[in-house]
Amino acid sequence: MARDAVWAVITGMYDAYTRGDRDGIDRRLHPEATIFDSDHAGLITTREQLDKVRDARPDEGRVTLSAYDEVVDVWGETALARYVLRVAFETGAPQIVRTTSVLRREGGEWRIVHVHENTL
């Protein structure tokens, strides 16, 4: 089912993040993906910009990410996923992030083309 495949891409991206697997994250992102990151004011439009944002993040120890309350719609080769992301740090209070991701299926593979995060 397409909905399950889309959700597997989303959760796989967060699993890769918790393992520190940047390549695992990047495999799920379209090469031209755009991102509104919750910790960055501007729209990220290139992988180089994304890497700069990633490299500037403080080391907050082990981070656990849990995506839930998902609503996923699929229209042909396009999918829209809306969900809540709980970000729990080794120390300090967790963050709750409302997230919307847009995916496209190319060559039978779903990839994320846009992410919009909003920290509550």
91 pLDDT higher than 90: no
Model pLDDT, residue 57: 83
Give the range among 7-16, 37-46, 97-106 with minimum mean pLDDT: 37-46
Model pLDDT, residue 62: 77
| Bridge partners of residue 72, in order along the sequence | 81
73 pLDDT higher than 90: yes
For 2-119, CATH number out of 3.30.420.40, 1.10.10.10, 3.10.450.50, 3.30.1360.10 equals 3.10.450.50
61 pLDDT higher than 80: no
Q: How far apart are CA 76 and CA 95, in angstroms?
A: 33
One-letter amino acid for residue 57 of the chain: R
Q: How far apart are CA 119 and CA 28, in angstroms?
A: 22
Domain ranges of the chain: 2-119
Model pLDDT, residue 78: 98
Regarding beta strands 63-75 and 109-119, do their DSSP bridges make them parallel or antiparallel, or are they unpaired? unpaired
